[in-house]
Chains A and B, each alone.
Chain A
Amino acid sequence: MTAPQPPFAPAPEAPFGPVLRANALTKIYGSAPVETHALKGVDLQIAAGESIAIMGHSGSGKTTLLHLLAGVLAPTSGTVSWRGRDLASMSDADRTKLRRSEFGFVFQSGQLLPELPALENAALPLLLAGIDRSMSMQLAREQLGRLGLAGLEQRRPGELSGGQAQRVAIARALVSDPEVIFADEPTGALDQATGWDVMRALKESAYICGAALVVVTHNPEVAHWCARTITMTDGRISNVAVQQPTSLEAQLVPPPPPAIFGGVGGAAR
C-alpha cells in the first residue's frame, strides 16, 4: 500500500535569515576508553518558518542533534545560536525559558499528564510560564478547536485515541506560539493513516502560526512533509534533499492575524 501524498507541499523557504544556527557541532557521550561520538561536526541553519526533516538509522545522531538544537544538551564542541545568541552563553534558567516560550515540542509518546483533562494538558506550558489561568485556558481551547478537538476538552488522555492524544500534544506545542517546533518521531506510535493525519495537522498548524518545524524521523513518508530533508549517517550529515513546493500549497489558508497569539510567547518578538 502506498502512503497518501500530502495534499500540499512543504512551506517555501522563508525569505528571512536563519533563526537557529549550528556550527561544527560535536557530541561525545561517556569518557575514554568507552566514548561514543554521537555527532562529528554538523553545520545546520534553520530559517524562520521553514520545515526540516532529520532522517537516519538508529544511532546516527539525529535525536542528539535535536537535543543540541533545542538547548537540552550542550555540545562537546561547536556552537548553537538562537537569533545570533550562543546558547552556551545563556544561563540554564534562560535556556529553560527559551524552550518554554520560543520552542514547542512533540514527542512520540508520554507527553500528556494522565491526571489532567485535554484542555489543561494543552494549557500547561502557558500556566508554567505564569500566564493567567483564564487566558491560558482560552488560548488552549482555541488551539484544540483548530486541531479538530472541540468537544473533547474535558477528556483525560486515557479517554482519547492515539491520534487525538497526539493532536492534544500538538496543541500544547503550539499554544505558546513558538518560533520552532521540534518533533521527535511524532507518528512513531501511530498507524499509517493516523500518522498521516497527525503530520498534516502538525504541518498545517506550524505553517499557520509561522513556526519552523524540525522533525526527527526514520520514516520517509513523514519526511515528505518537510521542505528539506537531511540524512544523518554515523554522526555526520550525509545527504541534503530539497523538495519543490507544488501548486497545492495555495490551498492552505493564510495565517490568521497575529492578535490571537500576540499576547503570549510572542510578546517578546
Chain B
Amino acid sequence: MSATQLWLLLRRYARNDSSTSARLTSVLAVIAFAATSAVSLVVVGGLMAFIHRWQDGLKVGNNDPKLYVMLAGFATLLLLVPLATLGAAAARLSMARRDARLAALRLAGATSWQVSVITLLDAGVQAVIGSVIGVAGYLAVLPLVAQLSFEGRQLSLAELWVGFPILAATVLGVAAVGVLSAASSLQRVRITPLGVAARVSPPKLSIFRLTGLLVAAAGAFLSVQVMGSLVGLFVVLVFGGFVALGIGVLNLIGPFVLQIVGRITASQARSAATLLAGRRIADNPKAAWRSVGGVAIATFIAGITSLVGLFADAADNEPDVQVLMTDLTTGGLLTLVIAGVLAAVSTGVMQAGRLIDQRQEYRNLVLAGSDTKTLDRARLRETSIPLIAALGTATASVLVVMVPAIGASAFAEPTVAMIFIASVLTTAAMVMAGAAATGFVARGLTADLAQ
C-alpha cells in the first residue's frame, strides 16, 4: 500500500474516531493556523496601504510618505516574532497527538518514508484548511480596519486589499510552515520510534530562532529600498538598533524574571491553584515567556510611541508634526492590539496543547475529586502571573528609557497615559480570554465523566 493510500485510510478512520483529544487537537491547530494567516494578511494589507500611498504620491502636508512605509514595515517586522511563535505553536500542536501514533506505525512495520508522508500530509492539510479560514477572517475584519485613519485620511478597502497573489502566497506560506515544522519533528521519529513511543525526545531548539536573522536582513533591505540613501539607512539603523537592543534585553531577562517570579509564587503559594501555576512557570519559564513576550515587546514599543507623541505635543504645534505624532501613537497602539490578539490565540493554543498532553493526569485529578474550578483558576493564574510580570517589566522599561529623555513633561498630559494604560489593559484582557477559552478543552477531556 502506498503511503498516500495509507494516509487516506487513516483519515477515514480518524473521521469516525470519537476520541475528544484527537478532534480537539486538530481543531486547535486549524484555529492557530487560521489566526496566523488572518493576522499576517491584515498586517501586510496595512503595509501595502502605505506603499500604495507612497507610490501614488498621495500625502498630507509635508510629511514624507516614505517614513510611513518605513514605520509600517518596522511594525510588520516586530509582529513577525509573535506570528512565528503562533505558527510554531500550531505546528507543535498538530504534532502533539501524532507522536504515539507514528511510533506505533513504525513498530508495526511502516517504513520511515510512509510515516513521513502521512505526517506531512496531515500537517499540510491542517495548515491549508486553517489558512483558507484565515483568508475569510481577513476579509471579514477589513471593514473594521478601514475605520482607522492615518495621514489625516481614513484607510480604504482598496488600499488594504492585498491582491490574489499575496492571498495565494499566504496560504502556501502557512502550509509550508506547517509542513516544515512537521518535517523537523519527524527527525526523531525516523531515528528512534521506540524513543518517541516512550516520550523521551530531547528538547529541540526551534528553527524559528532564525527569525531574528530574517528580521534584521529584511529590515536592512527595506531601509535601503525606501529611504534610497545611506543617510536614511543610518538613521534607521541607529533607531532600529536601539529598539532591537531593548527587545533583546527584554527577551534575555524576560524568562529569567519569570523563573524567579514562578519560584517565589510557588514558595509563597497558599492555594493549590497558585502552587500549580508557580511550579509550571518555574518549570518552563521560556514557554511562559513565549506566550507573553510578544505583548511585552509591543507594550514597550507602544509606550515609546505614545511618549514620543506626547513629547511632540508639548514641543511643537505644527499641524504636519501633529498628524505624524498622532499616527505614530495610533500605529504603536495598533501594533500592541495585534500583538495582543496573537498572544491571546497562542496562549490558548499552547495551554490547550499542554492540557491534551497531560489529559490523563487532568482526568485523574478530576476523578479524585479536584474541583474543576480550582484547576481552571490554576490555568488562569499560570497566564496572569507571567502577563503581569511581562507588562510590568515592559512598562517599567519604557519609563526607564524615556522619562530621562523627555523629563517631567511625560506626565503633563494625562490623556496619553490613560489611552496607553487602557490599551495595555485591553490587551491583557484579550490574553486572559485566550487562556479562559481553554476551559472548553478541559471540559471536553472529562466530558465522558459527566454522567
A107 pairs with B279, CB closer than 8 A: no
- The A interface is mostly helix, strand or loop, or mixed, namely mixed
Task: Please give me the residue from chain B that is nearest to A102 by CB atom.
Answer: B369
Instruction: Determine whether the beta carbon of A120 is less than 8 Å from that of B369.
Output: no
Q: When A and B form their complex, what is the total count of cross-chain residue pairs whose Cβ atoms lie within 8 Å? A: 76
**Chain B residues whose CB sits within 8 angstroms of the CB of A127 once the complex forms:** 271-272, 275
Chain B: residues with Cβ within 8 Å of the partner, total of: 23
Q: Any chain A CB within 8 A of the CB of B192? A: no
Would you call A110 and B364 a contact (CB within 8 A)?
A: yes
Interface string of B195-216 (1 = CB under 8 A from A): 0000000000000000000000
Nearest neighbor of A100 in chain B, beta-carbon distance: B369
Complex Cα distance A113/B277, Å?
12
Within A69-86, the residues touching B (CB, 8 Å) are 70, 72-74
Interface of B is mostly: helix
Q: Does A196 contact B (CB under 8 A)?
A: no
B137 to chain A, nearest CB (A): 35
Q: What sequence of 0s and 1s flags, for each residue 370-405 of chain B, a beta carbon within 8 Å of any chain A beta carbon?
A: 110010000000000000000000000000000000
Q: How far is the CB of A104 from chain B (nearest CB, A)?
A: 8
- Mark A90-110 against chain B: 1 for CB-CB distance below 8 A, else 0: 000100111111011101011
The distance in angstroms between the C-alpha atoms of A133 and B371, with both chains bound, is: 18
Contacting pair B270 A133 (CB below 8 A): yes
Check A99–B279 contact: CB distance below 8 A: no
CB proximity of B86 to chain A, nearest CB, Å: 24
User: Across the interface, which residues of B come within 8 angstroms of A110, CB to CB?
Assistant: 360-361, 363-364
Contact B361 A113 (CB under 8 A): yes
Q: Is B315 an interface residue (CB 8 A)?
A: no
Q: Is the CB of A72 within 8 A of B449?
A: yes
A137 to chain B, nearest CB (A): 10
Residue on B nearest A99 in the bound complex, by CB:
B369
Asked if B368 CB lies within 8 Å of chain A CBs, one says: yes
Additional pairs, 14, CB under 8 Å, beyond known A97-B369, A104-B368, A128-B272: A70-B367, A73-B449, A100-B370, A100-B371, A101-B369, A105-B364, A111-B368, A112-B361, A114-B283, A116-B276, A125-B370, A127-B271, A128-B374, A133-B269
Q: Which residues of B contact A (CB under 8 A)?
A: 269-272, 275-276, 279-280, 283, 358, 360-361, 363-365, 367-371, 374, 449, 451
Q: Which 7 A-B pairs have the closest CB atoms?
A: A99-B369, A100-B369, A110-B360, A127-B272, A105-B368, A74-B451, A115-B279
Write the residues of chain A forming the contact surface with B, with a CB cutoff of 8 angstroms.
67, 70, 72-74, 93, 96-101, 103-105, 107, 109-116, 120, 124-125, 127-128, 130, 132-133, 173
- Offer 28 A-B interface pairs, CB within 8 angstroms, sorted by A: A72-B449, A74-B451, A97-B369, A99-B367, A99-B368, A101-B369, A103-B368, A105-B364, A107-B367, A110-B360, A110-B363, A110-B364, A112-B361, A113-B361, A114-B358, A115-B276, A115-B279, A115-B280, A116-B275, A116-B276, A116-B279, A120-B275, A120-B279, A124-B272, A125-B369, A127-B272, A128-B369, A128-B370
